[in-house]
Structure 1
């Protein structure tokens, strides 16, 4: 099949959706499909081959929050469809616009359209809350109706989303995956880099720390960590974002500045080292904006226990008491108690990490994800013949 993948962001930009889209694209390529990607860029229209994938990057001059807006996108996609024959258009969201414009073009061109819907568009406060609600009831509905099939990696979306209730017959759950050979248990070798010694314990958070992602709950995590009284226990926050200066101030005000480490941007190799180095991973998300939480299965694959909020997709991914611990969202006391429980009971933590690794091997591999994706594409084509 010749596939056109449309996504607002793609590596080298990092994030859960970007990671999912890249790995599915790469695996489809390995299975012999011709994979092309349209995404945003910074230098006009730029074409490049990224690990065998043809990537076309369209410079976007305007954006709303983290949503790139470009009036030229429809014409850009239309031109490519005229120049080349594609079997399937597969667009990714929750970031609006790129998927919506792809849906419009696909219907005009008569090309089957599969939407990968990672999560609901959720904004809890301010003008963006009104805009997202308006979008969910208007343009998004057009896009969902235009889709021949809808893939979701999120068990929350599949089981609970109010938006998806009218489209359940189109909906297919395809969870994300992990490369279990790459993400595997081993001794972490990054201790010296972060100033830790062999007696040190570390709590890891991985995620974006910008103003558009305050729902990740970093402030709650800082408050919880301030309750952990141990000079040899550290909090490592891996990721970038414009909220980091503010989080550093909060850490200082809580008296944990000298035990809190902000790594900034790290590549995948360094991230795996952090998983291996850490005692456990925490994902303290506050809202249903977390459709899955890929860092949970990545940490589990490395043999580490995980703690997450009982909200959104997280509550489906963590098997409470088996692979990790679920806590109420926004509760620093409950989070601190869960962290302490694992830090104080190394046998329990090791058992949960081992169980998590087994769960990942059974349910969450990219090979499994791509087989399911390929079948959706094939079924879509066969139904439309």
Structure 2
């Protein structure tokens, strides 16, 4: 297989909530492809670093991709001349060469500004990337000048955020670029993107995946308590408060040997904290804040059920895929989710977990109680879940499909 030179365009990198991008880049590098990461906002240095970021030295492969970022890294005459030579044989050569005309009047600052303005527009051409892959379609809109000039393979991936937050008119100019292929993580998001005016024949469903060799269970030890886990940003569409109310009702009808761990930060954190305290649930329900991937894996390894009762929020937004649902299944943890958005596409109802009507607290409580009282069923569902995820969501398998799209 030919090694491809791939430009990944993202907003902020690395983002704690976007481990799927790191997984995808890691899998491509394992296949021998060259990857460079371009950030339309900033290169981030979060307190919690994904192990794959360190393993593949991804921060060293990341650069700020903005006009100001280019000017801040301004090179002297020799540096500009090297860039000009590199552009030889591409359509960037003459536009770059023309900027040197300002030197005849001794206007060095004007030369710098014009040179790097043109260089920014033609960067992807100058450096001869085989593929440009843009994550989140709003980033593609912000880089229309670059994408219009690029003649190689172009892929834009829609996620839940961009498919929900922008009207059709926002993508008007993107519609005009006929050489772009689009990927989405679920059929739910595909329908959203079609509604935004993109042609169905240009859209392929490619879920975001995970490293199933990393997310694999260790030997589970016996526990006195039935452990339920929620992992995700604490925002309305992920319904952390609803999850608390579900577990509260379960506690009321059982022997109280229940522990509920909630991992994540977000706008709903203090609402959840207040509810837990006011309803005397601190003995059972624990807000843990953000955790590293390693810590999340350990929590999954000790959990009996993963609970994710997402809803459609007041803006009409809901979960596009929810990779954490596949992570839990890879760890052989049965999952219980609601039937909104794309979550249900990543669960085999009744086989790897349960897909239940949204906001139906009784239905969620009944299934939790059933699994609490049936350890053998939990074990069976867990084993089914891992087999399902290994077959359909492993990063290496999905990376091969992605490279096929690139080619």
Per the normalisation by structure 1, the TM-score is 0.80
SS of 2:283's equivalent? helix
User: Does the C-alpha gap of structure 1 residues 273 and 232 become closer, same or farther in structure 2, counting only changes over 3 Å?
Assistant: same
CA separation in 1, counterparts of 2:215 and 2:403?
Answer: 24
Deviations 1:11-57 (A, max 9, x none): 2x211xx21211111221222222111123278xxxxx962441013
Distance in 2 (CA, whole Å) between partners of 1:25 and 1:172 is: 19
* Alpha-carbon separation, structure 2, partners of 1:122 and 1:377: 22
Q: Distance in 2 between matches of 1:144 and 1:369?
A: 26
Hey, what does 1:163 align to over in structure 2?
195
> Unpaired segments of 5 or more residues in structure 2?
45-52, 69-115
Deviation at 1:231, TM superposition (A): 2.9
Residue 153 (str. 1) matches residue 153 (str. 2): no
Partners of 2:310 and 2:358 within 8 A in 1: yes
| SS at 2:398 equivalent | helix
Distance 2:281 2:175 in 1: 46
Is contact 2:43-2:62 (8 Å) kept? Answer: no
| Counterpart residue number, 2:141 | 100
Structure showing greater Rg: 2
CA distance in 1, matches of 2:176, 2:285: 47
Structure 1 stretches of at least 4 aligned residues deviating more than 6 Å after TM superposition: 73-76
Summarize deviations over 1:225-274 as a string: whole Å, max 9, x none.
Answer: 11012432011011122431221001122331221111222111111111
Q: Compute the RMSD of aligned alpha carbons.
A: 2.8
Q: Does 1:31 align with 2:31?
A: yes
The number of equivalent residue pairs is 338
Q: Of 122, 128, 143, which residue of structure 2 is paired with 1:85?
A: 128
Give a deviation string over 1:145-175, Cα, whole Å, max 9, x none: 4252111122322367552674111111112
CA distance in 1, matches of 2:399, 2:123: 25
The answer (yes or no) to whether the contact 1:176–1:294 under 8 Å persists in 2 is yes
Q: Secondary structure at the match of 1:307?
A: strand
Specify which of 218, 226, 232 is matched with residue 201 of structure 1.
226
**8 A Cα contact 2:153 2:406, kept in partner:** no
Q: Distance in 1 between matches of 2:201 and 2:300?
A: 38
Contact 1:206/1:238 (8 A) holds in 2: yes
* Pair 1:137-2:140 in alignment: no
Closer/same/farther in 2, CA of residues 338 and 59 from structure 1, 3 Å limit: farther
Distance across 2 between alignment mates of 1:183 and 1:170: 32
Query: Structure 1 unaligned runs (5+)?
Result: 44-48, 62-72, 124-131, 190-196, 379-385
Q: Do the aligned residues in 2 keep the contact of 1:87 with 1:111 (CA within 8 Å)? A: yes
Residues 173-184 of structure 1 mapped to structure 2, 5 A cutoff: 173-184=205-216
CA-CA distance at 1:307 after TM superposition:
0.3
Task: Tell me the SS of whatever aligns to 1:257.
Answer: coil
Query: Could you list the per-position Cα deviations for residues 55-99 of structure 1 after superposition, in whole angstroms to 9, with x for gaps in the alignment?
Result: 0136999xxxxxxxxxxx9978526336522222111116x3x22
Residue 20 in 1 paired to residue 20 in 2?
yes
Q: Deviations over 1:202-247 (max 9, x none)?
A: 11001011xxx31101111111111012432011011122431221
Does the CA contact (< 8 Å) of 1:237 and 1:261 recur in 2? Answer: yes
Partner residue, 2:345? 316
Task: Please report the TM-score for the alignment, with normalisation by the length of structure 2.
Answer: 0.76
